Chains A and B, each alone.
Chain A
Amino acid sequence: MWQFFHKLGSPKWFYGIANRFMPWLFWLGLALLLGGLVWGLAFAPKDYLQGNSYRIIFIHVPSAFLAQSVYVMMAVAGVVTLVWRMKLADLFVKAAAPVGAVLTFLALFTGAVWGKPTWGTWWIWDARLTSMLILLFLYLGVVFLGSAISDEKSSARAVAVLVLVGVVNIPIIKYSVEWWNTLHQPATFKLTEKPSMPAEMWVPLLLSVLGLYLLFGWLACLRMQTEILIRERRTRWVKDFVSTGGH
């Protein structure tokens, strides 16, 4: 068990494994995502209430869903970093944070554009959009703190502490924003809450969520490889690897 753990913690081992998995992650993710999107755009039936604007759901929900779960994954990796000092875990936190920030931005953007035909305005201080905005702030804090500390080791650990503090706060933030929302504007029309979605709608949604997950895996692997090359640049294997062409 421990041997496996140590092997898992070895950047060299990970680099090779990632190389083997990445084409699968990429092509499968791309196929699923594009399949889901084309299905959702062209073949899924029109929503009786919102018309065709609801088709934004097929990108809004995957981005929002992934943005939230990436933060949780980062928190898990943060615990591993602080408790077991596993190298790969802190590499993951650094690699995933910018991706999470972009996904959060995309969720916000698509939510705002969706709001225009639905609510008649670009922005509403709706509980979901507001907590997404705060999540974006949290991501940006992680990204900026990580790049402000030059020492790689303490940068990784400081970021891990921040992510953990953030993840403890996220439920509290969510709860308080929802409470605040009911206080100021009772019962707005929720974008994504439907009593029941027909299969022609949720199957493509599921496909695009899965596809985006796999693509995130690919991106995370790619970015972790980059971090590994930077951090292990003085080791023998990176030098050999680089001098043989880096493939």
Chain B
Amino acid sequence: MAFDSLQAFWLMDGHGPYVWTCYGVFLAGLVGLALWSRHRRKVVIREQQRQLARDRQDQGESTPAAAATFSRIHPS
């Protein structure tokens, strides 16, 4: 440990505000990025589930054959 006490660790010889602001903003930025990216994927999945449900309703419940006519395309 490079510091004698928790107090010294917090103050960092007067440089504490700068150091802690930087670390705070850095972590907030990363956490924000992570949460935002996860949220986006969740939103997209939910949106498509809703869309699928709507399509199924439009076609009637008993036509799984219609769903199978979607061509299976894997262009690469």
Contact = CB atoms under 8 A, between A and B. Distances in A.
Given A42-B3, A45-B2, A53 B49 contact: no
Nearest to B11: A52
Interface string B1-45: 111000001001111101101110110011001100110110011
A12 interface: yes
B3 A53 contact: no
B19 A246 contact: no
Interface string A221-247: 011011001100111101100110010
B74 to A, nearest CB: 6
Given A87-B76, A235-B72, A229 B19 contact: no
A37 B22 CA distance: 12
B18 A56 contact: yes
A219 B33 contact: yes
A229 B13 CA distance: 51
Interface residues of B, number: 37
Contact of B29 (A52, A106, A223): A106
Contact of A102 (B1, B33, B44, B52): B33
Contacts of A106: 25-26, 29
A81 interface: no
B19 A53 contact: yes
B29 A53 contact: no
Q: For chain A, which range describes its interface: under 10, 10 to 19, 20 to 34, or 35 or more residues?
A: 35 or more
A242 B44 CA distance: 10
A215 B29 CA distance: 13
B25 to A, nearest CB: 6
B45 A105 contact: no
A223 B37 contact: yes
A190 interface: no
A215 B19 contact: no
A110 interface: yes
Given A42-B1, A52-B15, A55-B12, A215 B74 contact: no
- Which of B21, B37, B73 has the most CB atoms of chain A within a 10 A radius of its CB? B37
Nearest to A115: B18
Contacts of A42: 1-3, 9
Contact of A246 (B3, B22, B45, B70): B45
Contact of B41 (A37, A222, A243): A222
Interface of B: 1-3, 9, 12-16, 18-19, 21-23, 25-26, 29-30, 33-34, 37-38, 40-41, 44-45, 48-49, 51-52, 67, 70, 72-76
21 contacts: A12-B74, A42-B2, A42-B3, A52-B12, A52-B13, A59-B23, A63-B26, A102-B29, A102-B33, A109-B25, A114-B18, A116-B18, A117-B18, A222-B41, A229-B41, A229-B48, A236-B70, A236-B72, A239-B52, A243-B52, A246-B45
Given A9-B76, A51-B13, 13 more contacts: A10-B74, A41-B19, A44-B2, A52-B19, A56-B18, A56-B22, A99-B33, A102-B29, A110-B25, A113-B18, A229-B45, A238-B48, A242-B49
